[in-house]
Amino acid sequence: LVAYEAAAAGGPLVLARYTELMNGIVDTEEDVRLLRRIGVLMNRMKSDGEAAGVWNGMTRSVRLTRVGFLDRVIEEVNRYHSSRWRVRTGKFMKKYVFGSWPFLTFLAAVLLLLLTGLQAFCSVYTCARWFHVVPTAAA
């Protein structure tokens, strides 16, 4: 139907734009499962992965289309989605917290090595006089 609509090209390519939207939403089998569970999609194929493959392959041979009112709706949905506090928090965590894990891991490893070296040094030499600590009597 998408190819037929593109070939006829009498007006706006609404079905092609809808399939582009669904192609953007559906990437994996988990996406199909979620959309099927909430009632957006109805899947009568063997698996959700097969349905994801069909949605992802539908617009391969058709150029991207522009339909004004659908573009505005998609833009509004994206704006609404991006303004949600959960999405903003997730983006912040992904950018600043999860992105810094390699550096924090390296910093923790260096600190651990320094403290281990200090402990080894203090076990050989008495560090009480250097750190002005009064040694306690063993019980």
pLDDT for 95-110, tens place per residue? 888 888 888 899 999 9
- Residue spans of alpha helices (H) in 26-135: 29-37, 48-57, 68-83, 85-92, 101-124
CA–CA gap between residue 80 and residue 64 (Å, rounded): 23
Q: What is the pTM of this model?
A: 0.42
CA–CA gap between residue 69 and residue 81 (Å, rounded): 18
Q: Taking all residues of the chain, what is their mean pLDDT, rounded to a whole number?
A: 78
Tokens representing 49 are 């992965």
pLDDT of residue 76: 86
**CA torsion, ordered 126, 130, 133, 139, to nearest 10 deg:** 0
pLDDT for 5-46, tens place per residue? 666 666 666 777 777 777 777 778 788 888 888 888 777 778
Q: Are 135 and 127 in contact (CB under 8 A)?
A: no
Domain locations in the chain as residue ranges: 2-83
